[in-house]
Amino acid sequence: MQYEGRIVKGIGGFYYVDTADGILECRARGIFRKEKLIPLVGDLVTISVDETTGTGAVEEIHPRKNLLIRPPVANVTQMAVVVATANPKPNLYLLDKLIASAEYAGIHPLICWNKTDLDSGEDYGELYRNAGFDVLLLSAETGQQVDLLKERLKDQVTVFAGNSGVGKSSLLNRIFGTETFATGDVSSRVERGKHTTRHSELAALPFGGYIIDTPGFGSFDISLLQPENVVELFREFTPYADGCRFRDCSHTVEQGCQVLQAVEDGKIASSRHESYCALVQEIRDANKRK
Ligand SMILES: Nc1nc2c(ncn2[C@@H]2O[C@H](COP(=O)(O)OP(=O)(O)O)[C@@H](O)[C@H]2O)c(=O)[nH]1
Ligand SMILES: [Mg+2]
Ligand SMILES: [Zn+2]
C-alpha cells in the first residue's frame, strides 16, 4: 500500500510521515544513503506500508522547494519573525537579519510584533509595512490579531524565529488553544534547554498547515554571503540600488549613492539602512578572518 505524505519527525532512524490515514512510522531505505540524500523533516515523500508487518518505508523523496540548514527542514514556505514591542526591547538588527535570511532562502517573511499590550508598536508596524512587509501587531496576552495570524499560517509551513523571551511559545499556545509549548522566564528556559534534544518537528495545525517548533531558530550562516549580495535581501532598497549610478557601489557611504539619498529623503528607514551597513560590515569582518 502506497501513501503520499510529509515527514513531520525524524528520530533514531525512523521517520514519522503525516498521511491521509494519520501519522505512519517508516524506515528510510538504504538507497538514500548511497545517493547521499537524507530524508528531512518537511520532505514530501511516497511511502509503502507492508500490509502484513505494518512496517513503512520511505520510497521516494519529492523534489524540495527549499532547504533550511539550521534547523534542517525542507519545504518551509514562511518565516514568522517574532519580535516584542517591549520587554525585551526590540533588537532591530536581529530582526532585519532574520528577515534577510528568509529572503535569502526564498521564504515569505511575516513580521510579528508581539506584546502590543505593553507598547502598541504602531510605529514599528508602519516602518515595516512601508518597507513592503506583511506585518501583524499581536498580543499573546490579550489575543490581539491572533485570528489574523491563524489566517496567515493556514496551509503554510511556518518556522518561528526570534529572540528568546519575545513570546513565540505563548503565541503558539494561543494558536493551538493549549499549553503545549513551554513558556517562561529565561532562567527556567536555560534549565530546560539542558535536557531537551534539539531535533526539529513539524506540528500540524488544526486548521491546515504546519509549524516548526524548534527552539532557538537562528539567522543564516553569513559565510554564504558576499557584501554585494546583501542589498538584494533588503527588498525596499532594490529600486534605488538599481538606479544607483555607481558600479560596485556598496550603498554604505558613497557620496551621491541613490540608496543613501533615499535614506535621506525618508523613503528608506534609517534603521533598515543601519542594519544593512552592519550586515555588510559583519561579512567583511568574517572575510578578513578567513
Ligand atoms: N505582556 C505580555 N507578555 C507576554 C506576551 N507574550 C509572551 N509574554 C511573556 O513573555 C515571556 C516569554 O514568553 P515565551 O512565550 O516563553 O517566549 P519565547 O522564548 O519567545 O518562546 C513569558 O513570561 C510570557 O508570559 C504578550 O503578548 N504580552
Ligand atoms: Mg519558547
Ligand atoms: Zn549606491
One digit per residue, the tens of pLDDT, for the chain of length 290 reads: 999 999 999 988 899 999 999 999 998 776 676 677 889 999 999 999 998 988 899 999 999 999 887 778 999 999 999 999 999 999 999 999 999 999 998 999 999 999 999 999 999 999 999 999 999 999 999 999 999 999 999 999 999 999 889 999 999 999 998 777 778 765 444 444 433 445 678 999 999 999 986 665 666 777 888 999 999 999 999 999 999 988 899 999 999 999 999 999 999 999 999 999 999 999 999 999 87
Query: CA distances (Å), 186 to each of 181, 219, 231, in order?
Result: 15, 20, 34
- Domain termination residue (choose one: 16, 40, 63): 63
Q: How big is the chain by its Cα radius of gyration, in Å?
A: 21
- Cβ–ligand 1 contact at 141 (below 6 Å): yes
- d(CA 166, CA 85) in angstroms, rounded, equals 9
- d(CA 144, CA 177) in angstroms, rounded, equals 14
Altogether, the residues listed in the chain come to a count of 290
Q: Residue 219: its pLDDT value, please?
A: 66
**Whole-prediction pTM value?**
0.91
CB-neighbour burial class of residue 196 (10 A; exposed 0-12, middle 13-18, buried 19+):
exposed
* Domain match, 159 and 107 both: yes
* Domain match, 17 and 118 both: no
Cβ contacts of 278 within 8 Å, gap of 6 or more? 93
How remote is the C-alpha of 11 from its chain's centroid? 22
Number of domains comprising the chain:
3
Determine which residue's CA is closest to atom 9 belonging to ligand 1. Answer: 167
Domain span including residue 11: 2-63
Query: Which atom in ligand 1 lies closest to the alpha carbon of residue 82?
Result: 20
- Cβ–ligand 1 contact at 256 (below 6 Å): no
- Cβ–ligand 1 contact at 119 (below 6 Å): no
* Domain match, 123 and 96 both: yes
- d(CA 181, CA 175) in angstroms, rounded, equals 11
Q: Residue 194: its pLDDT value, please?
A: 39
Q: Residue 78: its pLDDT value, please?
A: 96
Which ligand number lies closest to the CA of residue 260? Answer: 3
* Domain match, 127 and 202 both: yes
- Cβ–ligand 1 contact at 165 (below 6 Å): yes
290 in Cβ contact with 222 (< 8 Å): no
Q: Ligand 1 centre from 166 Cα, in Å?
A: 6
* Domain match, 150 and 85 both: yes
Which ligand number lies closest to the CA of residue 188? Answer: 1
E strand spans, the chain: 2-11, 14-19, 22-28, 44-49, 56-61, 67-68, 73-74, 78-84, 108-114, 134-137, 157-161, 202-204, 210-212
Residue 217 covered by a domain: no
* Domain match, 36 and 83 both: no
* CATH number of domain containing 34: 2.40.50.140
In this structure, is the dihedral angle defined by the CA atoms of residues 195, 160, 232 and 267, taken in order, positive or negative?
Answer: negative
Residue 68 covered by a domain: no
- Cβ–ligand 1 contact at 164 (below 6 Å): yes
Query: CA distances (Å), 173 to each of 65, 90, 140, in order?
Result: 28, 22, 8
* Domain match, 123 and 37 both: no
List alpha helices for the chain, DSSP H: 31-34, 92-105, 122-130, 146-153, 168-176, 186-193, 238-243, 258-264, 270-289
The SS3 assignment for 158 reads: strand
* Domain match, 207 and 238 both: no
Beta bridge partners of 157: 210
Grid cell 527542514 is found at 73
- Cβ–ligand 1 contact at 169 (below 6 Å): yes
- Cβ–ligand 1 contact at 214 (below 6 Å): no
Determine which residue's CA is closest to atom 8 belonging to ligand 1. Answer: 167
Q: Residue 38: its pLDDT value, please?
A: 86
